[in-house]
Structure 1
């Protein structure tokens, strides 16, 4: 009997191996993952309506949340947001001099419409799209070296190489994590000059991808239905073509309160609660059968920015006044904000990097802006401000200090922060009105450069990419756009404000592009953080911890919760019982 059992086990193993070999019998460089799950089932997650499904132009949060299910790049991120594992490439390396990044592309794969994926798609994606400034929403500067040159792209056999005139430390991220696009599907748009409008939300049936899911249905304001890509190129160790999940339902919510109610009712399987909602979710976890987790601070810097180029020249001078901004920082009652708005599940922000970043320098905390109305008044005095007998704060010319703070109505934490700050400002005679608006209007306002002040959040694992935010010529340098940003607006060379500390920030952000060694990069980013904390071009606020909640029937592969924002981080290996 024992011998028979042994033979049976060997026979079973042989059948599995034989089946596996049959799947991979052709010259196809499939990706085999060391995961094991149960096929079938659906997943429901929260979301918002995307603005575009074109990866080169759909850079808003809602669009990116859909794109993560459907697009793929040459490399995969690890759970901490750094490029690490081969994806559409099967091998990659950097030359000894750090100037050339090379990838060997997988062969025999197919797009979601069944057409072959080739190295020509990769070459075309970069040379015809991402390396051409007008072909992306934010231009091509992120692909440049510190010398300002774009890479030379060369193809030899099934290897594609990108070479700069000097080392490019960001290349594995900027090249490796860029979504690859289908030439056969999109070249017509490029040829007729309509690429920016390609794959808008009205033509989802035309979207062709390499990701684990494709778009099956799109109901604006309601639900986006994703179904598994029948040509997906990742398999598990038993030979099953991933993903495990058959369909994902992205249910559009108008508020976090609505999303929470849906999660409680079982309409959502996965939810990222706010800090305010977390105690309620945790109290229901056992009864509902949820897994609820709290992690490290989000890899976000959240802040209040004042427009150095405000159309009103009087306000413009207030906002450029360093003492004014420091006074606002002293009136940001972070302890109260953390205890009330964040329910104790948050962390103060002291500089442009989150404390969860490997580049974080705790020395920024020495620039202490703990809540102090007294110090706020002293800073205002130093900046030339004073008070009338009725308590109204005025500038040196007698103008009463009054401005508007904008924030997104969907983000209850931002609403709470500006409400608390507005009350504190009124206590020292400053009239700060608040205005709340929907996300699309809010983003449009930020890009216009015509606001007084706004809340915002920026961040990520790689601070080198924050150039577009903190460099004076960055496309998201909202609070002090360069005159070249929009030649038709109110910002001119004569009125532009470019202090020495901003010049030094620019130098650091340009230099780091060519610095490969981690220790040297840490030194540069340390100085960057300290300059920002000292001169405070933006007023840092607070951020919550990473908070997760999901149904206990949901499982995933062998990865840990890191600094990634939302679940499922790696949708191709998620499965449910």
Structure 2
């Protein structure tokens, strides 16, 4: 194992905080502690809790208090509490480094042997010990049970299609050993939508046929409205979408509300494993309340002061309106930045069924020409008042992989050069309206499809339509439902897609570079090639472009990599190829994301990056350290 890998992934044992009876209990828990219903804080914490670093992030020591309210637009948004809470076996810091979190530590040998060390004394939210039994239960009784896992093991538990050997070393140690390296494994544990390789065995066994009479379980499932015992086990044991209030958790807050409900209350987990530098158990905030309504009215309700912490369902064009209400409604609007690679990107479908257009889309000179035909500065001024940045669909400056040249590769507005490049491709003939003609005589008219969820994209398309008219190309927009849209580009019916850019804005070498290679049918620029990769050649078609083939080769090399230096080199080459080939056409980046914060709420960073991965939106900023100043 290299020194670089050791530095990143080596087991880290944090200095234990000696919590004692002098530590102040959260007032809301005092009655339960006095009655004996709950043990005192010292006994609730692991022997070696995780001490949250306050110094590097400028946080202040807080106080226990209160309820925090947030607005959500859909019932399934309950999952955002798991994203924001961001308690993971291994997690990213706000510097995007992988560190043990729920785990006390982990060791990696040869990139394929992972030994996980559990914190002694760590407990589930119901007070039951968290041990290796919870990992064994998941592995033997869930992951390898055909009735519960019909599609097989999760991808992060496979390396070159092969599963690991799982071992329980002792009560606090488990090991996974693959034949080949598996750098995706720790990432799968750290992502916002994590792969949960553990379950509360003591709770889940009551719903499993290995521990109960099958007929009785099936009757229980039927009475509960479930298809069978397996469906009941799955529904009642969800960790990412914590709808079952009886389900124990390791997150900072646990759900206490039986759904469906417009008001879902999450109360503090009295056995949470993180503490502040003074040894006080986190979280500071007693409860978080999710108020469900309609996505459309979230900005208005936020502006009326009905949310203590809000960014979800807010957009840049809400910023001015929200700022106007700051003083009257008692909140601050923080100008965070969006963490995606490009706020708006256009994806030519390289698998479009029309052979003439397909040949053009697969020609990088055509993709480059239409890219420099876009006036990004005008997009920035018209849509974002010049407050965003122009650039391609690649990593942001905050990423250690950032390359200034790639960020601006083929993004200059140069209609003269674009026209020449198109002429050189043999597209010099035009009709009476000045529209270029395809080799078969048809006018060059491009239909750009969207999922119909953003007026921002609609406005951008109006500007791009004018820009492309200057280079002899007509464009039209079509809005579709998301499911229909995805089916269309997979079947080759979609010419181009407008959508958000890649989720690689904050990429590090240890993140999976899968978005840069054709690996999924959900990728709008090469869905058929991605389908071929995902299905192992059972469907779709293999990539035909040498550059796309190379990206796929590099992706496979990343999956076999054993050290940080290898992954860094692979990422750099993939970013260069993707940028040079202009496989997606980025436009603007680092758009302001309004974050509305109650004026009394402390420890929320003034500046932050709003991104799904790797930061889990608020997650890496440790919401359990947020507190109210009375």
Normalization by structure 1: what TM-score? 0.80
**Residue 322 of structure 2 is aligned to residue 309 of structure 1:** no
Pairing 1:263–2:293 present: no
Deviation at residue 113 of structure 1 after TM alignment? 4.7
Paired with 1:227 and 1:22, the residues of 2 have a C-alpha distance of 18
- Asked if 2 retains the 8 angstrom alpha-carbon contact of 1:37 and 1:575, the reply is yes
Shift of 1:419: 2.7
Compared CA separation, residues 550 and 362, structure 1 to 2 (3 A): same
- CA–CA separation in structure 1 for the residues paired with 2:565 and 2:445: 45
CA gap 1:26/1:288 in 2 versus in 1, 3 angstroms: closer
Is the CA contact 2:243–2:259 (under 8 Å) kept in the aligned structure 1? no
Q: Distance in 1 between matches of 2:259 and 2:500?
A: 29
Q: 1:26 to 1:534 in 2, by over 3 A?
A: closer
TM-score (norm 2): 0.74
Q: Distance in 1 between matches of 2:173 and 2:467?
A: 60
Alignment of 1:168-567 (within 5 A): 168-176=182-190, 178-180=194-196, 181-184=198-201, 188=207, 194=231, 198=235, 204-205=244-245, 207-217=247-257, 223-236=263-276, 241-252=281-292, 254-255=294-295, 258-272=297-311, 273-282=314-323, 285=326, 288-295=329-336, 298-302=339-343, 303-365=345-407, 367-385=409-427, 386-436=429-479, 450-454=493-497, 455-460=499-504, 461-462=507-508, 465-474=511-520, 476-481=522-527, 482=529, 483-484=531-532, 492-493=540-541, 497-515=543-561, 517-543=563-589, 544-545=591-592, 547-556=594-603, 561=608, 564=615, 566-567=617-618
In 1, are the aligned partners of 2:268 and 2:286 still within 8 Å (CA)?
yes
Give yes or no for contact 1:69–1:212 (8 Å, CA) kept in 2.
Answer: no
User: Within 1, Cα distance between the matches of 2:44 and 2:289?
Assistant: 34
| 2:114 is the alignment partner of 1:74 | no
Partner of 2:32: none
Give the secondary structure class of the aligned counterpart of 1:418: helix
Cα deviation, residue 268, structure 1? 1.3
From 70, 73, 79, the counterpart of 1:45? 70
The Cα of 1:328 is off from its aligned counterpart by: 2.3
Deviation per CA, 1:124-169, whole angstroms, max 9, x where unpaired?
4467667999959997444555x55443332201212233345444
Q: Give 1:137-156 correspondences, 5 Å limit.
A: 140-145=154-159, 149-156=162-169
Q: Please say if residues 70 and 209 of structure 1, whose CA atoms lie closer than 8 Å, have aligned partners that are also in contact.
A: no
Q: CA deviation at 1:244?
A: 2.4
Tell me, what secondary structure is at the counterpart of 1:387? coil
| Change in 2 beyond 3 A, CA 1:576/1:478 | same
CA distance in 1, matches of 2:151, 2:389: 32
Who is 1:4 aligned against? none
Secondary structure, counterpart of 1:266 in structure 2: coil
Provide the C-alpha distance between the structure 1 equivalents of 2:279 and 2:340, rounded to a whole number of angstroms: 36
In structure 2, stretches of 5+ residues that fail to align are 1-18, 27-38, 55-60, 211-228
Q: 1:139, 1:315 → 2: CA distance?
A: 39
Deviation at residue 389 of structure 1 after TM alignment: 2.4
- Give 1:106 shift: 2.2
After superposition, the Cα gap between the structure-2 partners of 1:219 and 1:127, relative to the gap in structure 1 and judged at 3 Å, is closer
Higher strand share: 1
**2: distance between equivalents of 1:183 and 1:528?**
40
Asked whether the 8 Å contact 2:316–2:594 carries over to 1, the reply is yes
Cα distance between partner residues in 1 of 2:511 and 2:85? 23
Instruction: Give the whole-Å Cα distance in 1 for the aligned partners of 2:277 and 2:580.
Output: 53
Distance 1:342 1:289 in 2: 26
Moved more, 316-325 or 261-270: 316-325
In structure 1, list runs of 5 or more residues that go unmatched. Answer: 1-12, 52-61
SS of the residue corresponding to residue 525 of structure 2 reads: helix
CA contact (8 A) 1:213 1:227 kept: yes
How far off its partner does 1:422 sit?
A: 2.5
Query: CA 1:110–1:186 in structure 2 vs 1: closer, same or farther (change >3 Å)?
Result: same
Residues 540 and 50 of structure 1, relative CA distance in 2, 3 Å threshold? farther
Are 1:572 and 2:612 counterparts?
no
Distance 1:507-1:485 versus aligned 2 partners, 3 A rule: closer
- Separation (CA, whole Å) in 2 of partners of 1:153 and 1:114: 26
